[in-house]
Amino acid sequence: MQEAIPGAPPGAASAAFGPVGRWLFKASKAAAIFGSLVFVAIVVMSIISIVGRKLFAAPVPGDVEVLQMAAAFASASFFAYCHLNGGDVKVDFFTAAASPATNHRLDALGSFLVGLVGALITWRAGAGALSIKDAGETSMILGWPVWVAQVLMLPGFLLMALAGFYMVGVHWRLSLAKGGAAA
């Protein structure tokens, strides 16, 4: 479990964040809120489809297609916010006894990897979307272009990359400040 950045109240941007970090935090929070609203809409649609199927033999046409496309987009919307809040998974069994400075350096390395993975996924998802667009692939029931759903994931993955790279600087600064204590 990764602890929140020292000095940050739960659910708030860290005191260690500068103007860019606060902007990134707000953008990530907005994306996460929008993603959660998409999930609520998916749940409502699924309930309507299940009830319609069982009671009236009239499900929502293409409900599984909508669920797949919307859930992919919504899921991608949460990564940056989770990382900026220190909410991603961390195995700290071996580092629990390490100094705060060492832990911040390791967190900087982990954040760098998050940034790299986010950048890689953004690049490959974008390239994949262009390929799917060129192929003209559509969903089977609704006939929706599949590439649109893939493009909608790109902002979430890009925010994840930016959050990862930004947190490298935050953790590195904290590792240098007073032996790694809160700045």
Residue 131 lies in a domain: yes
Confirm whether 8 is domain-assigned: no
Residue 153's identity, in one-letter code, is M
Residue 30: inside a domain: yes
Residue 57's domain spans which residues? 19-180
Res 2: pLDDT: 44
| Mean pLDDT for the stretch of residues 150-156 | 98
Residue 27 lies in a domain: yes
Decide if 6 is inside a domain. no
Q: Does some domain include residue 162?
A: yes
pLDDT at 46 over 90: yes
* pLDDT tier, 5 (very low <50, low <70, confident <90, very high otherwise): low
The reply to whether 144 falls in a domain is yes
Q: Please check the confidence at residue 178 and state whether its pLDDT lies above 60.
A: yes
The pLDDT of residue 78: 97
84 found inside a domain = yes
Q: Is the pLDDT of residue 55 over 90?
A: yes
Contact 70, 148 (CB under 8 A): no
Mean pLDDT of 6-33: 79
Q: How far apart are CA 146 and CA 159, in angstroms?
A: 22
* Model pLDDT, residue 171: 94
Count structural domains, the chain. Answer: 1
User: What is the structure's pLDDT at 87?
Assistant: 87
